Structure 1
Amino acid sequence: MGRIRILSDQVANQIAAGEVVERPASVVKELLENSLDAGATRIRVEVEGGGRKLIRIVDNGCGMVRDDALLAFERHATSKLRTSDDLLSIATLGFRGEALPSIASVSRLSLETRAAEDEAGTRVEIAGGNILNVEEAGLPVGTTIAIRDLFFNTPARRKFLKSESTELSHIAALVTHYALAQPTKHFELHSATQALLVAPAVANAGERLFQIFGRETAGLMIPTAAEMDFARAGLPEPPPWRREQDYQPPDPGFIRISGFVSKPELQKLNRNSIYVFVNGRLIRDRLVIHSLTEAYRNIIPPTSFPVVLLFLEMPPQEVDVNVHPAKTEVRFRQQSFVHDFIRDTVRTTLMQARPAASFAAALSGAPYAGASSSLLLDVSPMPGDPGEAVFSPSGAMGFGSESIPRREDAELFSLAAPVQPESPGHLAFQETISVGYEPARPAAVAAVVTSGVIENPTLASLSTLRPLGQIRDSFILAVNEEGLWIIDQHVAHERILFEKVMRERETEQVQRQYLLMPVLVELLPHQMVTFAAIADELALNGFEAEPFGPRTLAVKAAPVGLTGKELEHMLEDVLAGTEREQQTENADTRRRRIAASIACHAAVKINMPLERSKIEWLLAELGKTEYPTSCPHGRPIALRYSHREIERAFQRT
């Protein structure tokens, strides 16, 4: 007897469910897209137990007749395709015909639907892929689908689900995405205890942006719009394209970009605030993300990300959406053209809204005789600092993709005409400070970066630093017997505060300050969910906060030194980080991440003049820390230039 046999429909559906239904949010996505394809203008999503116990979606779409209601649960049954040629021009969100049978095979499902032409509706009940009941019922026009006990018959899948708050956070983020994509439709999201999102229909994407993100974020967004004929895609240079003020459907053969991009002042710690839709479909595409990263290169730090709400519209035959079962990935027929068009559109929008930032001059020429190239490299700004241009030999700068010349005989290359900073650096001296030398005391050893070489000076040497002044009110210049030191005042204070917060947290001696008036912080729906998950840890770090309405947090007390906008930004960072990391982080990781965020936002900033007493205090406290070489986020605190390196630079050795 042969070994190969055909699987039963039930097993095949459960295998398909493993591809389509990754988590409760996957169910919401498939059903939400079906509602939109059905022409619904009002969609209500109800969730219990993070989607494990219940997912109910109610819409006012066209509904289904009895025969269609039954046929919809057969594999590969769809109303959106007829022939294989239709795959080349898909204009609907759903089309594969796998979602409903796959979901029904791993849950207890009930469907209530009625088409406008029918006097009565149809109710269908299914458990584990088996139809239990079909009957007529008096129902309004539209469809209601309830999914209960998700993965009840596949415990191996169920145990891999995350906590209720995590799963609810994913659902909230998904519904928020589609509310942004469909501003003229009404969306609601309700958990068992509260309304997480109520977004009535508005006229356009700009009003929806204001509705979801609030006045402050909306005020930092720049509208962008452009279109181009695909027929010009083969030209060697980016052809001219025109901007449109009013929205119009794209002409055949045209690609259109519209939406909003953030000003450089608005930055995020992750990509979660990049919302991209292709022909109304939510996607996560590496090509698009890379094009946006390139558009913001040298405008924001490389570790930060913008806020983007971008709509791409193009002929369906120019994009293949049938490359992933969950339909979250797409493939463009002319990838390089789409990439460059997005990059140049966003970059030009930013340049028109605000002058390009100045770049530090690139190092050029061979090192002086007797001087090491590593020394020359170390005097340049650290990666990510404002004013630094980070180029690659094959990269490009500015609109029009101007190439940067290569240098095959050296690691360094430069621009022909480097742009100088707006004003030269200056030293702010408090008074004349004598420079003396004292023998170093033995102490524990820690690595400090010095001219590209890892050395091991003693921790005691930091306590002997004598300040000379500040460079641009941002970096402390100090000396001791080991040489010249440059200390980043912000990250130095950040390290001091981080270790202080960790000590006080462990001994339960956290110092908090009560606010005269509670600070009200507006959050997105999924951020409210993640706040509930870390509320206890925040309380142990000095916070007293509670929900004040469905999407507002009232902060009554905060750690000492954290006030105003920095308090709001700290909470935003912590909640954004939780959304990204909570799936894998343990209690200690979460505790350290929150402490690092508190320290970062409470620390002194760059461009802040400091009195000499404050500088001396910073240097003394830095010498007492356990790890004074980097901040909690990994940025270096101090650069040391030894006497030997200085002598070599002046050709004295």
Structure 2
Amino acid sequence: MPKIQILDDTLASQVAAGEVVERPSSVVKELVENSLDAGAKHVTVEIQRGGTAMIRVTDDACGMNREDALLSLERHATSKLKNSEQLESILTLGFRGEAVPSIASVARFRMTTREKGSVAGTEIQVDGGTLRDVRDAGVPEGTSIEVKQIFFNVPARRKFLRAESTEFAHVEHQVRLHALAAPEVRFTLIKDGRPVFDLPAASDWRVRISSLAGSEAAGKLIEVKRSAGPGMVLRGYLLPADYARKGRRQQFVFLNGRPIEDSAISRALRDGYKGAVSDGVHPAAWLWIDMDPSLVDVNVHPAKKEVRFRRPFDVRNLIAEAVERSLAGDLEEPPPATDFPATPERAETTEQPVGSPVAPTGKKPSVSAVGASSQRVPVSPPAAPSQPSSPSRETSTSQPVFPHQVEQQEELTAPSGKPVVEQPDFRLIGPLHDRYVVLEGDEGVVLLDPVAARERIVYEDLLAAGSGAAIESQGLLVPELLELDAVDYDIVLRHAGHFAEAGMQVDSFGGTTVQVSSMPAFIKVSDVRGFLLELVDELHETVGSRRGKAMAFEAFATGLAKRVGRREPCRIDHAESLLTAMFACDLPYCTPDGRPTLIHISLNELDRKFGK
């Protein structure tokens, strides 16, 4: 008997589903694309339990007769591709003929469809790839596909699904993508029987952006006017550099009506901002590219998210130059909003670093300062508090005072009942390029990173709060309202308890808007929105993959500490209180993620550098 065997159709479809159907949002993507390719003017997406219980996509497109409906369930059956020559000029969103049979192989599948002008429609039921029933049905013109119990017959895949709120956030993001790609189509999204949004058809992309990104962002839009390159045309909108985010979730790029992800386009966007955005963050943009289909290969990714350009440098140059001109305001007046077309018609250094992290020396706390005349001015070490400055985590219920909650000019004391690493005998020299504080130690030079020091202090205070202590919270005079995208909104609400433990009251305010009504007293920020969005970006990286409340809160505390640390000034008058607070920590010599707070350069090392 041969070892190599041909897979049966059901198993082959389930294998293909592993590439096409990753989660409920993948099902929504494929079905909505089919609706748009069929000429729908209204697409309705209904979801139950984040899509794990039910997904229904209904359109008013051309519909199918019984023969075509049955053929659509066969692998590699498609109406969008007739021969290999057409593969070089694809303008439809789908073309492989794998999506519908793949979805039907891993769920309980029901399709109702009626061709325009037909008297009767067709209903088809499939369970896990097995055809159960085909019958005539009285249904509206168009097609409705219902997918229930996704992965019911592939439990290994089902266990990888996330929380219902997370899965729905991905579904909503996917529907928003297609709503931006096709503003001429009405989109309705319904969650557990309640409408999430109903977007009427629009002739202006700005209307869609405003509906989905919020009025605040829409009011700051910078237009990228029509810019032509060899075989391509670019149009779109940008937000100012201060709206840049750590991830690329605020970049929406559409190629011939297809949402795509491309790192080269992201780099071109950054290049167009000419250094206005800092390293590690990405500007917000909505870009629509119309391109000769022979210049792009859309058949390089199973889920069709990525493409391959035949002239990538032309694409990058077009985007970078158009963005740069738009930010400079060099283009002519924009055309009227009604003239905006909709989507295309569908058929490092080598030298070793000097210094090493400082280790404890066992000396008693003592700090001196060097003034402008280089004369040492002694500063007495902080006196022990007459009352405990923070409670025992096990027994006390009183409100603790954390070191960084004291004014910076005051000397900070260590919480009582807590082991303290003894502070070495340092003498303050001064700031270095507004980034580090130079200290003189007994055996050489020590550099203090104020940002890293503040991270350690805030992190340990947050962990104390998570262990039962409380962080003093300060209410905002005017609560801040923030319109978020679906994924950001989900992660904020999922960690609302962590925000509360850290002194930040964040609540839902309807839709995907949240209200921030209080902030921790030790955080002095004027831009609450920017601070929260930075923290959300950090949560996407540090919390998303971690399990368990304690571990998740540690990751949350790490992210919040980083955001606060970035705002720590490098000033000599802050150094003394910062050092005292830092050495009141359990682990003063490193940040939560292991970066050093102090670097020591010994006299012997300096002598070697000078050849002594």
**Coarse TM-score class (shorter-chain normalised):** 0.7 to 0.9
Partner of 1:120 in structure 2? Answer: 120
Q: Is the 8 A contact 1:110 1:145 kept in 2?
A: yes
Q: Is the 8 A contact 1:517 1:556 kept in 2?
A: yes
Q: After superposition, where does 1:284-295 map in structure 2 within 5 Å?
A: 284-292=261-269, 295=272
Partner of 1:273 in structure 2? Answer: 250
Partner of 2:500 in structure 1? Answer: 539
Tell me the SS of whatever aligns to 2:495: helix
Answering whether residue 469 of structure 2 is matched by residue 508 of structure 1, we say yes
Partner of 1:81 in structure 2? Answer: 81
- Post-superposition CA distance 1:581-611 (Å, at most 9, x none): 55521234421232133334445736x5868
Q: After superposition, where does 1:558-597 map in structure 2 within 5 Å?
A: 558-562=519-523, 566-579=527-540, 582-587=543-548, 588-597=550-559
Amino acid corresponding to residue 188 of structure 1 in structure 2: T
Deviation at 1:23, TM superposition (A): 1.5
Using the alignment, how far apart are the partners of 1:116 and 1:193 within structure 2? 28
Q: Is the 8 A contact 2:227 2:322 kept in 1?
A: no
Using the alignment, how far apart are the partners of 2:593 and 2:78 within structure 1? 50
- Post-superposition CA distance 1:293-350 (Å, at most 9, x none): 5555744333222223222221111111112221122122223433444344445545
Deviation at 1:497, TM superposition (A): 1.4
Q: After superposition, where does 1:211-222 map in structure 2 within 5 Å?
A: 211-222=211-222
Answering whether residue 223 of structure 2 is matched by residue 223 of structure 1, we say yes
Answering whether residue 375 of structure 2 is matched by residue 434 of structure 1, we say yes
- Post-superposition CA distance 1:76-131 (Å, at most 9, x none): 22111111111111010011111111111111111222233123332222222233
Q: After superposition, where does 1:416-455 map in structure 2 within 5 Å?
A: 434-435=375-376
Tell me the SS of whatever aligns to 2:150: coil
Deviation at 1:648, TM superposition (A): 7.1
- Post-superposition CA distance 1:215-271 (Å, at most 9, x none): 4434555332454453xxxxxxxxxxxxxxxxxxxxxxx212222344332221222
- Post-superposition CA distance 1:130-180 (Å, at most 9, x none): 332333333333222110011112222222222323322221221222222
Using the alignment, how far apart are the partners of 2:81 and 2:74 within structure 1? 15
Using the alignment, how far apart are the partners of 1:526 and 1:90 within structure 2? 31
Using the alignment, how far apart are the partners of 1:515 and 1:68 within structure 2? 60
Amino acid corresponding to residue 123 of structure 2 in structure 1: R
Deviation at 1:482, TM superposition (A): 4.4
Q: Is the 8 A contact 1:261 1:309 kept in 2?
A: yes
- Post-superposition CA distance 1:168-194 (Å, at most 9, x none): 222122122222222333223232275
Structure 2: runs of 5 or more not aligned: 331-347, 356-369, 380-419
Q: After superposition, where does 1:396-435 map in structure 2 within 5 Å?
A: 434-435=375-376
* Greater mean deviation of Cα atoms: 329-338 or 574-583: 574-583
Partner of 1:618 in structure 2? Answer: 578
Deviation at 1:53, TM superposition (A): 0.7
Q: Is the 8 A contact 1:125 1:131 kept in 2?
A: yes
Partner of 1:329 in structure 2? Answer: 306
Amino acid corresponding to residue 270 of structure 1 in structure 2: G
Answering whether residue 295 of structure 2 is matched by residue 318 of structure 1, we say yes
Amino acid corresponding to residue 618 of structure 1 in structure 2: L
Deviation at 1:525, TM superposition (A): 2.2
Change in CA separation of 1:609 and 1:8 when aligned onto 2, cut-off 3 Å: closer
Partner of 2:515 in structure 1? Answer: 554
Q: Is the 8 A contact 2:188 2:197 kept in 1?
A: yes
Q: Is the 8 A contact 1:166 1:579 kept in 2?
A: no
Answering whether residue 31 of structure 2 is matched by residue 31 of structure 1, we say yes
Answering whether residue 22 of structure 2 is matched by residue 15 of structure 1, we say no
TM-score when scaled to structure 1? 0.73
Deviation at 1:281, TM superposition (A): 1.1
User: What percent identity do the matched residue pairs reach?
Assistant: 35
Using the alignment, how far apart are the partners of 1:298 and 1:329 within structure 2? 27
Deviation at 1:636, TM superposition (A): 5.7
Amino acid corresponding to residue 264 of structure 2 in structure 1: L
Q: After superposition, where does 1:71-150 map in structure 2 within 5 Å?
A: 71-150=71-150
Change in CA separation of 1:301 and 1:593 when aligned onto 2, cut-off 3 Å: farther
Using the alignment, how far apart are the partners of 1:4 and 1:598 within structure 2? 55
Amino acid corresponding to residue 520 of structure 2 in structure 1: P
Q: Is the 8 A contact 1:562 1:598 kept in 2?
A: no
Tell me the SS of whatever aligns to 2:35: helix
Tell me the SS of whatever aligns to 1:550: coil
Using the alignment, how far apart are the partners of 1:495 and 1:195 within structure 2? 45
Using the alignment, how far apart are the partners of 2:250 and 2:153 within structure 1? 36
Change in CA separation of 1:580 and 1:136 when aligned onto 2, cut-off 3 Å: farther
- Post-superposition CA distance 1:37-89 (Å, at most 9, x none): 12222222121222111011122222223332222212222111111111111
Partner of 1:233 in structure 2? Answer: none
Change in CA separation of 1:486 and 1:197 when aligned onto 2, cut-off 3 Å: farther
Q: Is the 8 A contact 2:525 2:531 kept in 1?
A: no
Deviation at 1:627, TM superposition (A): 4.1
Using the alignment, how far apart are the partners of 1:625 and 1:123 within structure 2? 67
Answering whether residue 540 of structure 2 is matched by residue 599 of structure 1, we say no
Q: After superposition, where does 1:173-322 map in structure 2 within 5 Å?
A: 173-192=173-192, 194-225=194-225, 227-230=227-230, 254-292=231-269, 295=272, 298-322=275-299
Tell me the SS of whatever aligns to 1:272: coil
Q: Is the 8 A contact 2:107 2:128 kept in 1?
A: yes
Using the alignment, how far apart are the partners of 1:350 and 1:637 within structure 2? 39
Deviation at 1:551, TM superposition (A): 1.8
Using the alignment, how far apart are the partners of 2:601 and 2:277 within structure 1? 29
TM-score when scaled to structure 2? 0.78
Using the alignment, how far apart are the partners of 2:213 and 2:374 within structure 1? 51
Change in CA separation of 1:528 and 1:605 when aligned onto 2, cut-off 3 Å: closer
Using the alignment, how far apart are the partners of 2:479 and 2:266 within structure 1? 38
Tell me the SS of whatever aligns to 1:265: helix
Change in CA separation of 1:63 and 1:345 when aligned onto 2, cut-off 3 Å: same
Tell me the SS of whatever aligns to 2:242: coil
Using the alignment, how far apart are the partners of 2:443 and 2:210 within structure 1? 55
Q: Is the 8 A contact 2:539 2:555 kept in 1?
A: no
Q: Is the 8 A contact 2:183 2:202 kept in 1?
A: yes
Amino acid corresponding to residue 621 of structure 1 in structure 2: A
Q: After superposition, where does 1:377-388 map in structure 2 within 5 Å?
A: none
Using the alignment, how far apart are the partners of 2:465 and 2:312 within structure 1? 53
Using the alignment, how far apart are the partners of 2:176 and 2:522 within structure 1? 34
Change in CA separation of 1:217 and 1:557 when aligned onto 2, cut-off 3 Å: same
Q: Is the 8 A contact 1:105 1:127 kept in 2?
A: yes
